[in-house]
């Protein structure tokens, strides 16, 4: 089987022929149909973050495909069934976090495409308990971006406790943001979308944003304050300045939810304003299996639209460059079977 492999940080990925991986107990082998390109994969390939993967490894945590072989003890999945293999490849299931609905914080977790090989390959392994069944009516090409971009923003809005009639700021309308806008609308919020290209602001409007803010020329904090301030701001743009800008646009009691991960990023949180205004700064990382099940359910019911462009896996390096140049409207999905939607 073919796989796109990171052999050294910062080097182009190498297409390799590898033997099909053998599922161990509790695992399944998946014939990958589609695999999304998340910015995290680029950070992984560059070794950008303090905790690094160990090359050689196969990135990718938006792999979707058909179960091809069951490992020992797997009884709840069937050969031929479509599953998604998210970032949360495995968690311990026993710790405080796992037992309290926060398996995303498990310290024993193994992350797909980071701590084990991921979805930039024709075949991959998954722990069966964490391979999420994809409902009928959801294509592999749509399921791929939902598997990280979807679940991550859906969870972030839950973390923010968004309620109807609230003003929610979505900072960054890309792979994550275009879904965040839709989840915020589903939650009944008024949505302010923030970006720096006309194309992305137009996309946000088309997806239901009530207000768009062009951060190239508008003072984001000031515009949000003019509308009463945001009850919640979801920071998705990989840019430190964008975090500080939305933080300044919160209303009293508002919440800044940090999701994007600029390498070595930090922001200044003004103590006086934070205390007086009772605002919160919260981190949110991906989502649980239940969150992903709900994301798929919403999509199967026709409530969300996934914007993506498909590419062959062999174009992985050019595709990464496109993302880094900011040229991709929402999400690149590698179409491994050439089957399209
Ligand atoms: Zn991701
Ligand atoms: Zn755990």
Distance CA 61, CA 87 (A): 5
For ligand 1, an ion, list residues with CB under 5 A. 38, 40, 148
Nearest to 191 by CA among 175, 180, 202, 203: 180
pLDDT for 340 beyond 70:
no
The pLDDT tens digits for 57-88 are 999 999 999 999 999 999 999 999 999 999 99
Spatial contact of 179 and 146, defined as CB atoms under 8 Å apart: yes
Q: What is the pLDDT of residues 89-141, one digit of tens each?
A: 999 999 999 999 999 999 999 999 999 999 999 999 999 999 999 999 999 99
Give residue 92 CA to ligand 2 midpoint distance, Å: 4
Q: Are 85 and 61 in contact (CB under 8 A)?
A: yes
Domain ranges of the chain: 2-133+307-335, 150-283
Pairwise CA distance, residues 299 & 306, whole Å: 9
- Superfamily name and number for 150-283: NAD(P)-binding Rossmann-like Domain (3.40.50.720)
Taking the centre of ligand 1 as the mean of its atom positions, its distance from the CA of residue 113, in whole angstroms, is 10
Q: Which residues contact 282 (CB under 8 A, 6 or more apart)?
A: 159, 160, 255, 256, 257, 258
Cα separation of the two ends of the chain: 23
Report the alpha-carbon distance of residue 300 to residue 135 in Å, rounded.
7
pLDDT band of 264, cuts 50, 70, 90? confident
Distance 107 CA to ligand 2 centre (A): 6
Percent of the residues in the chain that have a pLDDT greater than 90, as a whole number: 93
Task: Note whether 2-133+307-335 and 150-283 share their fold.
Answer: no
Instruction: Report how far ligand 2's centroid is from the alpha carbon of 26 (Å).
Output: 17
CA 299 to ligand 2 center in whole angstroms: 28
Residue 152 CA to ligand 1 center (angstroms) comes to: 8
Give the ligand whose atoms come closest to the C-alpha of residue 92: 2
Dist. CA 243 → ligand 2 center (Å): 30
H or E stretch including 140? helix 140-145
**pTM for the structure as a whole:** 0.96
- CATH topology for 2-133+307-335? Quinone Oxidoreductase; Chain A, domain 1 (3.90.180)
Query: Rounded to the nearest whole angstrom, what is the distance from the C-alpha of residue 97 to the centroid of ligand 2?
Result: 6
Among 236, 258, 229, CA closest to 38: 236
CA gap 318, 260 in Å, rounded: 22
Residue 284 has pLDDT above 70, yes or no: yes
The pLDDT of residue 339: 54
Judge whether 294 and 154 are in contact, CB under 8 Å.
yes
Which residue is listed with tokens 């930039």? 120
In whole angstroms, give the CA distance from residue 330 to residue 328: 6
Ligand closest in space to the Cα of 93: 2
Predicted local confidence at residue 177, as pLDDT: 97
| Distance of CA 163 from the midpoint of ligand 2 (Å) | 29
Q: What is the pLDDT of residue 10?
A: 95
Tell me the CA–centroid distance for residue 127 and ligand 1, in Å: 18
């Amino acid at each position: 089987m073919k796989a796109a492999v990171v052999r050294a940080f910062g080097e182009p990925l190498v297409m390799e022929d590898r033997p099909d991986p053998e599922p161990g107990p509790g695992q399944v082998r998946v014939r990958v149909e589609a695999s999304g390109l998340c910015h995290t994969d680029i950070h992984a390939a560059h070794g950008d973050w303090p905790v690094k993967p160990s090359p050689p490894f196969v990135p990718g945590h938006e792999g979707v495909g058909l179960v091809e072989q069951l490992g020992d003890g797997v009884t709840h999945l069937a050969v031929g069934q479509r599953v998604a293999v998210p970032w949360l490849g495995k968690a311990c299931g026993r710790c405080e976090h796992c037992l309290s609905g926060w398996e995303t914080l498990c310290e024993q977790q193994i992350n797909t495409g980071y701590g084990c090989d991921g979805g930039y390959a024709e075949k991959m392994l998954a722990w069966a308990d964490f391979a999420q069944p994809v409902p009928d009516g959801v294509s592999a090409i749509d399921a791929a971006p939902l598997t990280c971009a979807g679940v991550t923003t859906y969870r972030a809005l839950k973390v923010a406790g968004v309620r109807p009639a609230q003003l929610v700021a979505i900072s960054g309308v890309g792979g994550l943001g275009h879904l965040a806008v839709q989840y915020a609308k589903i939650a009944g919020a008024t949505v302010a979308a923030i970006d720096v290209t006309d194309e992305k602001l137009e996309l946000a409007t088309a997806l239901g944003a009530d207000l768009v803010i062009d951060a190239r020329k508008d003072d984001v904090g000031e515009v949000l304050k003019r509308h009463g301030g945001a009850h919640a701001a979801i920071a998705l743009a990989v840019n430190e300045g964008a975090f500080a800008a939305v933080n300044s646009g919160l209303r009293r009691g508002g919440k800044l939810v940090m999701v994007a991960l600029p390498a070595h990023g930090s922001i200044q949180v003004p103590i006086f304003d934070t205390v007086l205004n009772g605002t919160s700064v919260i981190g949110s990382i991906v989502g649980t299996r239940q969150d992903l099940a709900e994301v798929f359910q919403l999509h199967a019911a026709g409530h969300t639209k996934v914007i993506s462009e498909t590419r062959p896996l062999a174009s992985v390096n050019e595709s990464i460059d496109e993302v880094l140049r900011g040229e991709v409207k929402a999400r690149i999905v590698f179409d491994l079977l050439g089957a399209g939607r």
